[in-house]
Amino acid sequence: MEGGTRGALLAALRLQLDWGADEALLEAPADRTRPPPAAPEPSRPPRPAAPGRIALPPAAAEAGALAAGAATLAALREAMAAFGGSPLRETATSLVFADGVAESGLMLIGEAPGADEDRLGRPFVGASGQLLDRMLASIGLDRGRNFYITNILPFRPPGNRTPTDAEIALFLPFVLRHVALAAPRRLVLLGGVAAKALLGAREGITRLRGRWHQVTLPDGTAIPALATLHPAYLLRNPAAKRDAWADLLLLRRSLDAD
Lowest pLDDT segment from 44-48, 107-111, 189-193? 44-48
Domain assignment of residue 33, yes or no: no
Please state, in angstroms and rounded to a whole number, the distance separating the CA atoms of residues 44 and 108. Answer: 45
More confident position, 182 or 37: 182
pLDDT at 189 (0 to 100): 98
Domain assignment of residue 14, yes or no: no
Please state, in angstroms and rounded to a whole number, the distance separating the CA atoms of residues 171 and 191. Answer: 17
Domain tally, the chain: 1
Per-residue pLDDT of 39-84, as tens digits, reads: 444 444 333 333 344 567 779 999 999 999 999 999 999 999 999 9
pLDDT at 52 (0 to 100): 43
Lowest pLDDT segment from 47-51, 115-119, 230-234, 252-256? 47-51
Please state, in angstroms and rounded to a whole number, the distance separating the CA atoms of residues 100 and 110. Answer: 14
pLDDT at 51 (0 to 100): 37
More confident position, 154 or 37: 154
pLDDT at 58 (0 to 100): 78
pLDDT at 11 (0 to 100): 66
Domain assignment of residue 222, yes or no: yes
Percent of the chain residues topping a pLDDT of 70: 79
Q: Assign residue 106 the CATH number of its domain.
A: 3.40.470.10
Domain assignment of residue 3, yes or no: no
3-state SS, one letter per residue, for 114-146 = CHHHHHHCCCCCCHHHHHHHHHHHCCCCCCCCC
Please state, in angstroms and rounded to a whole number, the distance separating the CA atoms of residues 133 and 27. Answer: 69
Contact 131, 106 (CB under 8 A): no
Average pLDDT, the chain: 87
Q: In the structure, what pLDDT confidence band is assigned to residue 32 with cuts at 50, 70 and 90?
A: very low
SS3 174: helix
144: containing domain: 60-256
Domain assignment of residue 10, yes or no: no
SS3 113: coil
Termini Cα distance of the chain: 94
Domain assignment of residue 115, yes or no: yes
Per-residue pLDDT of 113-144, as tens digits, reads: 999 999 999 999 999 999 999 999 999 999 99
Beta strands in 89-210 (DSSP E): 99-100, 106-110, 148-151, 186-190
pLDDT of residue 215 exceeding 60? yes
Question: Nearest Cα to 226, choosing from 251, 249, 192?
Answer: 251
Domain assignment of residue 241, yes or no: yes
Lowest pLDDT segment from 17-21, 142-146, 251-255? 17-21
Domain assignment of residue 11, yes or no: no
